[in-house]
């Protein structure tokens, strides 16, 4: 079956695996979801007036995630650990079925543009779709992009705090071992800033569900395309800048 046939806008039949039935509890979530596409980072924000860990878990098809809430912002819930497009979309769609109305996504990405450094912020304005999940939610010729109003709000918020960032196209892939040197050089020629595994699918899901969404990346690694050095993920430098990005998005949720 061709990719063009994966999504049928006329198909209104119910899901065989329904997201609202994946969590067997009476879980109710607030309207603003901050989803972090990394692991073991939200626990650093468990402190008074920031986050606390709920005793409940968000159970979704493919896994489960700790739930973090805020006493100072009852409209916010945060989850993490949803790595890859299929699992990330499963978690978010389940959260939407439990009450979420807006999605704020914070991810890590590899730098494709050679001028970027570890820790830099990237504001994705459109995501090229090289993962498979998004094609079940949108036709192939539909762009995976954030909600315009939320994108403008995040842009103003970044400017308010005078945080440098790059805005532009990114790409999401299912196959990190197929990020060949030739592939990444082609991405550079196409103006791609960074590569991740989830954001295009998040934007596609939210557009399908008519749920506004916006995303932000922290560069976790840079790629030498000369074949002189091996790839290395600089986790420490990424985490040093993650705190600022998370705090910025957490503050932004209070405006909605």
Confidence of residue 162 (pLDDT cuts 50, 70, 90): confident
Domain ranges of the chain: 3-7+27-253
CB 127 within 8 A of CB 231: no
- List, for residues 100-157, the tens digit of each pLDDT value: 999 999 999 999 999 998 899 999 999 999 999 999 999 999 999 999 999 999 999 9
pLDDT, position 232: 67
Q: Is the pLDDT of residue 1 over 80?
A: no
Confidence of residue 4 (pLDDT cuts 50, 70, 90): confident
What SS3 class is residue 63?
strand
Q: Which CATH class is domain 3-7+27-253?
A: alpha beta
- List, for residues 39-70, the tens digit of each pLDDT value: 888 999 999 989 999 999 999 998 999 999 99
Q: List Cβ neighbours of 207 (8 Å cut-off, separation of 6 or more).
A: 137, 138, 142, 144, 145, 213
């Amino acid at each position: 079956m061709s990719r063009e046939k994966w999504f049928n806008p006329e198909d209104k039949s119910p899901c065989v695996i329904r997201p609202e039935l994946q969590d067997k509890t009476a879980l109710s979530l607030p309207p603003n979801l901050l989803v972090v596409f990394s692991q073991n980072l939200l626990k650093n924000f468990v402190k008074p007036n920031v986050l606390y860990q709920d005793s409940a878990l968000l159970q979704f098809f493919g896994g489960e995630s700790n739930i973090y809430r805020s006493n100072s912002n009852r409209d916010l819930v945060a989850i993490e650990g949803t790595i890859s497009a299929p699992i990330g979309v499963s978690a978010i769609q389940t959260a939407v079925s439990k009450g979420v109305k807006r999605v704020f996504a914070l991810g890590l990405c590899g730098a494709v543009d050679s001028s970027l450094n570890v820790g830099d912020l990237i504001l994705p304005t459109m995501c090229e779709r090289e993962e498979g999940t998004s094609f079940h939610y949108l036709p192939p010729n539909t762009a995976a992009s954030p909600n315009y109003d939320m994108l403008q709000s995040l842009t103003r918020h970044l400017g308010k705090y005078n945080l440098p960032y790059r805005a532009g196209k990114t790409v999401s892939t299912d196959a990190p071992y197929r990020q060949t040197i030739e592939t990444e050089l082609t991405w550079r020629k196409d103006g791609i800033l960074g590569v991740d595994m989830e954001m295009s699918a998040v934007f596609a899901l939210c557009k399908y569900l008519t749920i506004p969404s916006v995303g932000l990346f922290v560069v976790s690694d840079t790629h030498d395309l000369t074949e002189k050095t091996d790839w290395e993920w600089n986790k420490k430098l990424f985490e040093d800048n993650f705190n600022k990005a998370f705090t910025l998005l957490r503050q932004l949720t209070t405006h909605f």
